Chain A
Amino acid sequence: MARDLWKHLVLIIGAIIVLAPFYMMVSYSFKSPGEIDRGEGGFFGRQELMVDERCVKLRDPNRDEIAAVAAQYPGKTDRQIREEIMAVAETECSMRPVVFNYSKAFVEAPLLRYLLNGIIVTVSIFAIQVLVALPAAYALAKLKFWGRDAVFGLVLFCLLIPVHAIALPLYIMLAKLGLTNTYAALVVPWTISVFGIFLMRQFFMTVPDDLIDAARMDGMSEFAIVWRVMLPTAVPALLAFAIFSIVAHWNDYFWPRIVVTGSRDLFTPPLGLREFKGDADGSFFGPMMATATIIVTPLIVAFLIAQRRFIEGITLSGMK
């Protein structure tokens, strides 16, 4: 044990550096602007009630509004009425910093919409990737046909091309088709995963031929074999691939940044956070960190629950 002490020491120092930004992100998402500026309050902040200035300002009544409610305040001047309304507003607008930060994250920007977009994009990308890659992988692994080696050679060649690298010509093509600022633009470049084809082909090679022959004897078409026989055997490999694909596209910033401009309705979570940062004045660090926490959390939690599967999935590319 004593021998291991220095190992722990080195690893703990590493862990502190790795965790520092996570600690800060979560901690700041709890704190009030004042505490962030002054760097105090420990991890959770003191959680003293704070007044949301913007909320109060919004409820500041103008002359007409005061006139409209004047009947409820008999015998008071306009000024007194306003003061009373403002006093109520101030109590109703005060809240704990943590509530302030997280509610602002959802109110100031359509964060729910961003999250939903993130889910729509990642799920459709994965679904289409499987739909395209699985039949091709089956054909390459189990069917004999003229040109098979050429097709597989093409797959190997295409593995050399990272999609991010050809983003510019893809962007031009999509722009020419008038598809920028659509869901299609976010999804289309990723519909073909040569890596997925390669991976599933390697997996299908290990499936015994007898299984397929038996299915053919039962009169199943090749198409049915892909989805009713091969798909169920491939579930573990597909799960790993799903994690690989979903993590990559949930976190992707480069491609959405290129094809989505302006329209917030199409923003994915990283784009939304980026825009939030652009608008934010100094007092909005809390809500910004809350947004960051919300975006990062789903994958981290999923990872902590199913660590082994995640590590398998993310390092899939290591199986080559």
Chain B
Amino acid sequence: MGVVEIDPSVTPARERNRQARTAWGLTAPALALMFLILLVPVVIAALLSFTNYSLGNSGFEWVGTKNYDRLFTRSTYEKMFIATFTYVVTVVPISVALGLGAALLVNALGRIGDIYKTIYFLPVMATLLAMAIVWEFMLHPTIGMVNQTFELACGTVLERIPFFANGCAEGFPLWLGDRDYAIWVICFIGIWQGFGFNMVLYLAGLTSVHRELYHAAEMDGAKSAWERFRLVTWPALGPTTVFVVTISCIRAFQVFDTVEAFWPQGGGPNKSTYVMMFAIFEKGVQQNLIGIGSAITMLFLIFVMFLTLIQRWLVERKVHY
């Protein structure tokens, strides 16, 4: 390269101006789409949640907080909240704990452990809807693999367990058709599908725990594996845990595929699995009750945003608890 000639007309101010113009040009498409696809819909949902709008109607009326009142008074929506929170409160702690447990075991086994890592990650990759249909088949009351496996326990010591005693005498549960079991089946599939994801995040977190810390803890008298975990591993995984819990919550709130696959109408026996995403789909899209669907959407957004904000706040404080 020769000597670079500096064009005297390019003053710093002009250069800044030019850069600003290109910068806005480069961000313009992204900005426009952010407004149109993310922000405008939130505003629309917020507005429509105060109306009785339906697609196809020319006009609509403002109904004040009637939609929200309904959400908090009708028993259908009470069931919706119960189903959603049952799911979140069950799936999040269990899938986080299993993810952590699996990560610790896999990590302790070194290279051989990788095979388990691969296996546990398979459900994360697999199309959930397809796997839901497979699970439905496995849970078939008579020819499903689950009940057939349980029947093998009949006549053995396992029959001492009340669950097996009942099952052998009166038949094992109907699972998806039973309102006492339906939500737990959905939870189980959620855990089955998601814990491998948490495991991988924890494995990444574990690589950043310094070996010297364990030595130091041992010097200080932390002899048992549990003490080392409590004093070194768990605090070091603090940031990972915050992240894993948040992302598990957000994913859990969005459960839909399994519910729709098992009960295309109505959200399960006695609406016991009527989760929020399904309610939005059913009310807003299928029944064209946009007002009520939008109100559920707004509550949903508030939950999710609230969770993420807590997470960011914790991360900024650099949690090490």
Question: A-side interface residues toward B, CB under 8 Å?
Answer: 4, 7-8, 10-11, 14-15, 17-22, 24-25, 28, 36-37, 39, 131-133, 135-136, 138-140, 143-148, 151, 154-155, 158-173, 175, 188-189, 191-192, 194, 197, 217, 221-223, 226, 247, 250-251, 253-254, 257-258, 269-270, 273-274, 277-278, 285, 288-289, 292, 295-296, 299-300, 303-304, 307, 310-311, 314-315, 317-318, 320
Contact = CB atoms under 8 A, between A and B. Distances in A.
Interface in B9-63: 16, 19-20, 22-24, 26-27, 29-31, 33-34, 37-42, 44-45, 48, 55
> What size tier do the contact residues of chain B reach?
35 or more
Contact of B19 (A133, A145, A168): A145
A39 B148 contact: yes
B137 interface: yes
Q: Is the interface of A mostly helix, strand, loop or mixed?
A: helix
User: Which of A159, A162, A269, A304 has its CB near the most chain B CB atoms (within 10 A)?
Assistant: A162
Contact of B120 (A8, A18, A194, A274): A18
Nearest 9 pairs of A and B residues by beta carbon: A136-B30, A169-B41, A192-B33, A135-B26, A145-B20, A145-B23, A143-B23, A292-B130, A139-B26
B145 interface: yes
Contacts of B38: 158, 161, 163, 166, 192, 194
Main secondary structure of the interface of B (DSSP, over half): helix
Nearest to A21: B134
A275 to B, nearest CB: 11
A310 B116 contact: no
Given A166-B301, A311-B200, A288 B133 contact: yes
Interface of B: 1, 4, 16, 19-20, 22-24, 26-27, 29-31, 33-34, 37-42, 44-45, 48, 55, 98, 102, 105-106, 108-109, 113, 116, 118-131, 133-135, 137-138, 143, 145, 148, 192, 196-197, 200-201, 204, 240, 243, 247, 250, 254, 256-257, 260-261, 264, 277, 280-281, 284-285, 290, 293-294, 297, 300-301, 304-305, 308-309
Contacts of A217: 1, 4
Given A21-B138, A292-B133, A168 B45 contact: yes
A250 B27 contact: no
Given A168-B280, A270-B130, A318-B204, 4 more contacts: A147-B24, A175-B55, A223-B22, A253-B129
